[in-house]
Amino acid sequence: MPTILGQNQYGKAENRVVRITRDGDTHHIKDLNVSVALSGDMDDVHYSGSNANVLPTDTTKNTVFAFAKEHGIESAEQFGIHLARHFVSSQEPIEVARIRIEEYAWERIATSDGNSKFIGADEVKHSFVRKGQETRTTQITFDGEKWEVISGLKDLTVMNSTNSEFWGYVKDRYTTLKEAYDRILATDVSARWRYNWTDDEQRMPNWEKSYEQARKHMLQAFAETYSLSLQQTLYQMGSRIINSRSEIDEIRFSLPNNHHFLVDLEPFGLKNDNEVYFAADRPYGLIEATVLRDGVEPKIPVDLTNL
């Protein structure tokens, strides 16, 4: 049967680059995992094997490291923008560049005498520990004219030990779940948000501040919402970000419901007054939804694993 070539891209995935900025004795770390994907006039390499339009993936790897030195890493977003612009503007066959970045945060180690984990003594200026569980993410796409920046995080584990209920749901012959009027609500947040910055004529967001503020509003909404369902909490988290950050138009969540079931202690003559739970890791409920600014069309893919 005749065949034709469909959508395609190529590049170098998961380039692990660590950039140390030395401010005298004080060091600062940016730790990134950068994946480059390029597409454009690439039919010949698939049909005939001609590499005339192919920039080697080894070159894209080298570019990542060279740019870390030449441009520094102010933020994951800014670094991705530098790379995407370079690949599209410097190579005529390349029409679209997509840069995906994961950032791993570090914080300074506290001194043994209890000093602040931030700079306060000589020994903390160059010693770090990986910060928390979350991984910061970003994806930058550039077609030579327009930008698309989708940032977010994954593996941010949160829990409310009260102020959560679940009752009034549909019941049929297979329903065994008991209604809960005081339960644990826990999840591992995966979130992606889309910026409305699309071209160089617009004022570029402050990427570092925007991430910090989006994360702050997300956590505040989770903590402050008296939840009757994880869906309700999700919507409040997204709404808080959209209403507080004018540079963000869309946010998509994937929230597993990390179930905690009360343990039956009656066989041991003990009363379990919402104190002892079994933490089940699977199966789990999975709640996913997008929250949008009114009048904005959704563009973030439904499957977050494709980002």
- The CATH number given to whatever domain includes residue 101 is 3.10.270.10
Does any domain span residue 114?
A: yes
Residues 79 and 121 in one domain: yes
Domain that holds residue 166: 152-307
Q: Is the dihedral of CA 280, 283, 287, 288 positive or negative?
A: positive
Residues 205 and 82 in one domain: no
What CA dihedral angle connects 231, 235, 237 and 240, to 10 degrees?
A: -160
Residues 133 and 24 in one domain: yes
Does any domain span residue 235?
A: yes
278 in Cβ contact with 260 (< 8 Å): yes
Residues 80 and 164 in one domain: no
Does any domain span residue 93?
A: yes
Residues 156 and 104 in one domain: no
The string of pLDDT tens digits covering residues 151-197 is: 999 998 899 888 999 999 999 899 889 999 999 999 999 999 999 99
Which of 99, 128, 145 is at the close of a domain? 145
Which of 124, 145, 166 is at the close of a domain? 145
Residues 156 and 93 in one domain: no
Question: Does pLDDT of 209 surpass 50?
Answer: yes
Going by C-alpha positions, the residue among 109, 102, 161 that lies closest to residue 134 is 102
pTM, 2 dp: 0.86
How far CA 51 is from CA of 47, 57, 58, 86, 249, in Å, comes to: 11, 12, 14, 20, 40
Residues 120 and 191 in one domain: no
Does any domain span residue 1?
A: no
Residues 166 and 244 in one domain: yes
DSSP code, position 117: S
Question: Does pLDDT of 271 surpass 60?
Answer: yes
The string of pLDDT tens digits covering residues 227-257 is: 999 999 999 999 999 999 999 999 999 999 9
Domain count, the chain: 2
Does any domain span residue 158?
A: yes
187 in Cβ contact with 115 (< 8 Å): no
Residues 183 and 91 in one domain: no
- Band the pLDDT of 270: cuts 50, 70, 90: confident
Q: Average pLDDT for residues 186-214, to the nearest whole number?
A: 96
Does any domain span residue 294?
A: yes
Residues 93 and 213 in one domain: no
Going by C-alpha positions, the residue among 104, 95, 72 that lies closest to residue 141 is 95
Token pair recorded at residue 242:
């959209």
> What 3-state class would DSSP assign to 275?
coil
Bigger pLDDT: 98 or 303?
98
Going by C-alpha positions, the residue among 198, 217, 195, 221 that lies closest to residue 206 is 195
Question: Does pLDDT of 122 surpass 60?
Answer: no
Which residues are catalytically annotated?
12, 57, 259
Average pLDDT over the chain reads 90
42 in Cβ contact with 54 (< 8 Å): yes
Does any domain span residue 109?
A: yes
Residues 26 and 123 in one domain: yes
Which of 104, 123, 145 is at the close of a domain? 145
Residues 102 and 220 in one domain: no
The string of pLDDT tens digits covering residues 61-107 is: 999 999 999 999 999 999 999 999 999 999 999 999 999 999 998 87
Residue bearing tokens 């808080």: 240
Does any domain span residue 2?
A: no
